[in-house]
Amino acid sequence: MQNAKVKPASATRFTKIFELSALVTLSILVLLALWSPAASYSEGEGQLMYKRGLYPEAIEHWKKAAAAGDAGAAYQLAVEYFDAKIVERDLVVAVTYLKQAAEADDPRALTELAHYYDNGTGVPRDLEKAAKLYLRAAQYGVPSAMLNIAAMLKSGEGIEQDKIEAYKFYELSSHRGFHPFAASAMKELSSEMSAEELGEAMQRVEDFIPDDF
């Protein structure tokens, strides 16, 4: 019988060192990927710069973040290019960034872009697009979007008239800071609805759960 061959201790140690070295190298590559420049740009980081008064730096940071797909950064840029506090007003650029953020379902951008279409700001007035955007933002629980879509559902402008849904969104917005505006509208609308319709509207209010962003 042949004796089993035994690896020298030095060879075993070399193998372990090689395996450990490979593991360390892989870990470093993973960390580098996670901490790449694209991954470090974000709306939040830009906001920290802005709060420290580093306005031009914040704008540039948001541009890089938006280019990397950060919806929040795109929204912040849309606001800046509309408000013209740091950069010159440019509605074309503002709308471009706002659409980017809205396409990613940012609730703030959905609401703001709806305002643009509702009033014809920087885009042709389009009540159907406005209603669609208001409704999506309302489903996320944005109070101003709830109030606006309620008004459109009540009148049938830009969307099919639906008094039950209109009352629901008026009621929801009234509990989120818009009571003075919603109360009078609900009083008027309730006079046009049956007891069954009002009951259904209130049931929908109770069942409402905002979507997660």
Separation CA 146–CA 185 (nearest Å): 13
The pLDDT value given to residue 11 = 47
What is the longest distance spanned by two Cα atoms in the chain?
A: 103
pLDDT, tens digit (0-9, with 9 covering 90-100), for 175-212? 999 999 999 999 999 999 999 999 999 999 999 999 98
The pLDDT value given to residue 112 = 98
- Structural class in CATH, domain 41-100: mainly alpha
In the structure encoding, which two tokens stand for residue 83, read together?
């408000």
- pLDDT exceeds 80 at position 6: no
Residue-level length of the chain: 213
- Binned at pLDDT 50, 70 and 90, residue 20 comes out as very low
pTM of the model: 0.80
- Binned at pLDDT 50, 70 and 90, residue 21 comes out as low
The pLDDT value given to residue 13 = 47
pLDDT, tens digit (0-9, with 9 covering 90-100), for 45-99? 999 999 999 999 999 999 999 999 999 999 999 999 999 999 999 999 999 999 9
Domain ranges of the chain: 41-100
- Binned at pLDDT 50, 70 and 90, residue 38 comes out as very low
- Give yes or no for a contact between 133 and 102, defined as CB atoms under 8 angstroms apart: yes
| Contacts of residue 45, Cβ cutoff 8 Å, sequence gap at least 6 | 61, 65
Residue whose tokens read 């669609």: 132
- pLDDT exceeds 60 at position 114: yes
In the structure encoding, which two tokens stand for residue 5, read together?
């061959």
The pLDDT value given to residue 40 = 82
Where are the extended beta strands (E) located within 66-192? none
